[in-house]
């Protein structure tokens, strides 16, 4: 796992330097509420991997997505509903991780949860949503290792502002 800091909004050109075998491009939203608690989703039975474990909201970038920001906004609506009020940052980094023979390249966004109803929109892919305190998430056996790495990195570089 590796995290590359960004000082600008990510573009498709930024990803040209990544050329891993079996590579896929995705987006992740690291969402915190006003108390600094982290919103994580519990993966469902039809998830690609890590069923039953918690991690950030995210997914694959589609061909129709015009930007990474439009992709993460779409993913959040698809997974947590349209009635959630979030304030998104520009992209904060690029995260590379290797899971199940796939080299995932994720563009990472920080979002502040303001209010609204968080809904399970895809019940076979997501069982539930929970807010975790930082230490609770880091020490939890039900949070994925890649999510813990991302949480620690965001905290280390103070990217949750």
- pTM score, whole prediction: 0.95
Would you say residue 30 has pLDDT above 90? Answer: yes
φ, ψ of residue 66 in degrees (nearest 5) = -85, -20
* The predicted structure's pLDDT at residue 48: 78
- Statement: residue 160 has pLDDT above 90: no
Contact 74, 61 (CB under 8 A): no
Task: Note the pLDDT of residue 66.
Answer: 94
Using the predicted structure, report yes or no on whether residue 141 has a pLDDT greater than 90: yes
Q: Quick one: residue 116, left, alpha or beta (phi over 0 = left, psi -120 to 50 = alpha)?
A: left
Q: Does 50 have pLDDT greater than 90?
A: no
Q: Quick count: other Cβ atoms within 10 Å of Cβ 98?
A: 12
Percentage of the chain exceeding pLDDT 90: 93
- CATH classification for the domain delimited by 2-156, as one of 3.40.50.620, 3.30.930.10, 3.90.79.10, 3.30.420.10: 3.90.79.10
Q: What is the DSSP letter of 15?
A: G
The per-residue pLDDT for range 71-123, each reduced to its tens digit, is 999 999 999 999 999 999 999 999 999 988 999 999 999 999 999 999 999 99
């Amino acid at each position: 796992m590796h995290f590359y800091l960004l000082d600008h909004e990510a573009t498709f050109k930024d990803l040209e330097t990544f050329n891993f075998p079996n590579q896929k491009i995705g987006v992740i939203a690291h969402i915190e509420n006003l108390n600094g608690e982290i919103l994580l989703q519990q993966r469902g039975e039809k998830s690609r991997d890590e069923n039953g474990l918690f991690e950030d909201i995210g997914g694959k970038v589609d061909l129709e997505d015009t930007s990474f920001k439009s992709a993460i906004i779409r993913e959040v609506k698809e997974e947590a509903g349209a009635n959630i009020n979030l304030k998104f940052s520009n992209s904060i980094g690029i995260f590379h991780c290797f899971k199940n023979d796939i080299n995932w390249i994720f563009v990472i966004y920080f979002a502040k949860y303001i209010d609204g109803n968080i809904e399970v929109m895809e019940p076979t892919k997501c069982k539930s949503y929970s807010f975790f305190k930082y230490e609770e998430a880091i020490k939890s056996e039900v949070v994925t290792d890649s999510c813990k790495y991302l949480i620690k990195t965001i905290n280390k570089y103070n990217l949750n502002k």
